[in-house]
A and B are shown apart, each in its own frame.
Chain A
Amino acid sequence: MAADLWTALFIALLAAFTGYEVISRVPVLLHTPLMSGSNFIHGIVLVGAIVALGIATTPLEQGIGFVAVVMGAMNVTGGYVVTERILAMFDRSKRKGGPP
């Protein structure tokens, strides 16, 4: 296996522990926004999609790459907006109706 892959593997292990640590003490209240937020973060797939389409040459590769970019971009913006909308409701200052 190439050296780059080993490097990536070490990085992946550290990232796995980080993800575990960050989530381990979360109130149930935030499970939904957190699921939605992590859904947004894997939108980084868009970066890979841009690279894939960017190096595509044949029409087939371009077609599949294009689909990847569209789906990746949807993941990013949709994931962001959904999370933002959920979290906006927790914001006390801008709550509609407000306390009486």
Chain B
Amino acid sequence: MTTFVQDAINAVYVVAVIVFVLGLRAMSSPATARRGILYAGVAMLLAVVVTFFSPSLSNFALIALGVAIGGLGGWYWARVVQMTAMPQMVAVFNGMGGGAAAAIAAVTLLFGLGSRATAGLSLSGAIIGSISIAGSMIAFLKLQGWLRSKPIVLPARQYVNTAVLVVGLGFGVWALWQFSTFWLLPFYVLLLLYGVLLTLPIGGADMPVVISLTNALTGIAVALDGFALVNGPLGDAGYAMVIAGVLVGSAGSLLTVLMAKAMNRSIANVFFGAFGATEEEGTTIQGALKPIEASDVAVMLSYASKVIIAPGYGLAVAQAQGKVRELADLLEQKGVTVKFAIHPVAGRMPGHMNVLLAEAGVSYDKLFDRDEINQEFPSTDVVLVIGANDVVNPAARRQGSPLYGMPILDVDAAKNVIVLKRGSGKGFAGIENDLFYRENTHMLYGDAQASLTKLVQELKKL
């Protein structure tokens, strides 16, 4: 009887794993993406439900209560949150996964499970899971604005961080050596602290990379927990965790590399560079900021033959995606060609802008990637830069600038550049933008939503 039940459960795990892969595959194409998450969802539901029927489990009431609290809480939170806050929500739920992995490792370590090899695997899962949850929570706090998003740099941080990590690992190894669970407490505390210290010096602009990396890390932590469980009494759930975890670990790592590449930064540079904390020296910017009125911009736009809109995080913050679509529609009615230039890392996540503009109903064929649109700027009459800064900063072409080498949108090649911006502050990277001081650039100050509303009103009057 017991083996029959276990066989049936295993069969469901096998199906779930196949469907996970199919779902992930479907998610990597726009036409089938929605089906993909549905597949994965069904597979997950199956896997979780059959786990309840595993023989020799107890504490069912606690399990059901935990699933209910966490499940409903996560569901509700993800439902009510604003679309603009999606990046930090991914960070939070990823952190939850990492925390769960670290907690599972703690339980298996408390059991003192058989061999040192198994305990070592659990310990590794605990290390990675702890770093993942701590890092994700800092990423969340920074993106949410509850923590200063600029790099927070502590003195001698490389040494302090390394010391925290080494001592923490030392406690872990000691706990294994002595089969003494007491030392696990300082081990966890120090590893969590390490996750915090590692993420604090990273500026908000690099958070997408951090979230993506911690996502991959969580996958690996889950897989390590799975490895440790494989040897235990309920090993077969472990295989499902190994496959799904490694799947996420490898896909997530590749995704992280792709993102870092889009910013022309190495992963090491993101984590250890304290990017944006230091000012570039010896560069002074010539010229002055030239403010402009909405009515003048409206005239300029209506007489243009081609307008390109380059959106950034400011658009997301101001929730102005609907207004920008209204503006684009209005201009098209006047016979102006309107295109959107989407930098791969505009906003707080790759594809962030595509998501927002899609929400507002801007059609795909108007959205252009950096490589597709860069040669079009010289033949463009007006570029509207809406709440974007670092991704259009020509400093990226200047050697010695912290941004040097990052591929940017060459908006400065256009005949006119209008920058919609709240104030004269710097971008997320904290670097002065000489685009704003150029001859052909004018600044339209104000919240993007308000400025665009004014622009639309003025355009309607013309």
Q: Which residues of A contact B (CB under 8 A)?
A: 1-2, 4-5, 7-9, 11-12, 15-20, 22-56, 58, 60-62, 64-91, 95-100
Contact = CB atoms under 8 A, between A and B. Distances in A.
Nearest to A38: B248
Contact of B249 (A19, A77, A83): A19
B28 A30 contact: yes
Given A76-B44, A78-B78, A90-B30, A11 B238 contact: no
A74 B358 CA distance: 27
A18 B97 CA distance: 21
Contacts of B251: 19-20, 22-23, 34, 38
A13 B40 CA distance: 21
Contacts of B20: 41, 44
A32 B350 contact: yes
Given A31-B349, A68-B100, A38 B73 contact: no
B48 interface: yes
A74 B24 contact: no
A41 B45 CA distance: 11
Contacts of A48: 100-101, 104, 222, 225-226, 229, 237-238, 241
Nearest to B56: A55
Nearest to A70: B70
A77 B57 contact: no
Nearest to B35: A87
Given A52-B107, A85-B83, A34 B255 contact: yes
Contacts of A40: 37, 40-41, 44, 93
A54 B70 contact: no
B62 interface: yes
Interface in B25-48: 25, 27-30, 33-34, 36-37, 40-41, 44, 47-48
Interface in B182-228: 211-212, 215, 218-219, 222-223, 225-227
A19 B241 contact: no
A5 B212 CA distance: 28
Interface in B42-100: 44, 47-48, 51-52, 54, 56-60, 62-63, 65-75, 77-79, 83, 86-87, 89-90, 92-94, 96-97, 99-100
Contacts of A28: 262, 342, 344, 350-351, 354, 369
Contact of B361 (A36, A54, A98): A98
B270 to A, nearest CB: 16
Which of A2, A30, A51, A99 is the most central at the interface, judged by chain B CB atoms within 10 Å of its CB? A51
Nearest to A37: B27
Contacts of B405: none
Contact of B90 (A5, A36, A46, A74): A36
A5 B226 CA distance: 10
A89 B337 CA distance: 24
Given A5-B118, A66-B65, 9 more contacts: A18-B247, A18-B250, A19-B246, A20-B254, A37-B24, A42-B222, A44-B241, A45-B104, A54-B234
Contacts of B60: 54
Contact of A76 (B48, B79, B117, B215): B48
Contacts of A19: 24, 246-252, 254
B439 interface: no
B75 A67 contact: no
B239 to A, nearest CB: 6
B250 to A, nearest CB: 3
A44 to B, nearest CB: 4
A82 B89 contact: yes
Contacts of A86: 86, 355
B298 interface: no
Which of B96, B101, B223, B252 is the most central at the interface, judged by chain A CB atoms within 10 Å of its CB? B96
A61 B90 CA distance: 28
A39 B97 contact: yes
B110 interface: yes
B34 A87 contact: yes
A11 B258 CA distance: 25
A17 B92 CA distance: 27
B146 interface: no
